[in-house]
Amino acid sequence: MSPALKPVAFLLGTWRGEGQGEYPTIKAFRYREEIRFAHNGKAFLIYSQRTEAIDSDQPMHAETGYLRVVGDDQVEFVIAQPIGFAEISPGRISGTRIDVESSTVGRTPTAKAVTSISRSLWVEGETLHCETRMAMEGVPMVRHLMASFHRID
């Protein structure tokens, strides 16, 4: 492992959990989620996640990208989403917590009008918590997703 990854090594592994989604424009929903942080020896984590419906196991959302470590306490999250978003989210590490906020959310011509995304990931004890907030045209930055995970690998 690259020594640069030491501050984010607490994220490494495969995590499974459940979460709840909410947003002013939709009905609240629950989901199952798997998150994976891996590395290939370079100074970034390889990130992927997918969610599925709790009742039907049908795939819901997915994301993939990289968490770059660019200083002792600084990170840059680069994330592609199949709903047409390409996100650049710089942020900070504080102990076993990471907070990032998008500087740009690129959108494909057919994607929804999301303007900003912020994310927090933190480990308390053996549990990983992930919270995602989102702003759209006409909706301020509010909580969208909140999930908790245990490490399975």
Binding site residues, its own copies, CB under 8 A: 40-42, 44, 46, 48, 50, 59, 62, 64-66, 68, 70, 76, 78-82, 84-88, 90, 103-111
> What one-letter code names the amino acid at 105?
V
What is the per-residue DSSP string for 39-86? --SSSEEEEEEEEEETTT--EEEEEEEEEEEEETTEEEEEEEETTTEE
Residue 104 CB, nearest distance to its own copies (Å)? Answer: 4
Q: Which is nearer to its own copies, 64 or 115 (CB)?
A: 64
Residue 81 CB, nearest distance to its own copies (Å)? Answer: 7
> What one-letter code names the amino acid at 48?
S
Q: Which is nearer to its own copies, 24 or 53 (CB)?
A: 53
Q: Which is nearer to its own copies, 79 or 121 (CB)?
A: 79
CA distance 54 to 9: 29
Residue 43 CB, nearest distance to its own copies (Å)? Answer: 9
Pairing type for strands 85-94 and 104-107 reads: antiparallel
In the chain, how long is the greatest CA-to-CA distance?
44
Q: Which is nearer to its own copies, 109 or 125 (CB)?
A: 109
Residue 38 CB, nearest distance to its own copies (Å)? Answer: 11
CA distance 65 to 62: 11
Residue 80 CB, nearest distance to its own copies (Å)? Answer: 4
Contact 58, 67 (CB under 8 A): no
Q: Which is nearer to its own copies, 41 or 125 (CB)?
A: 41
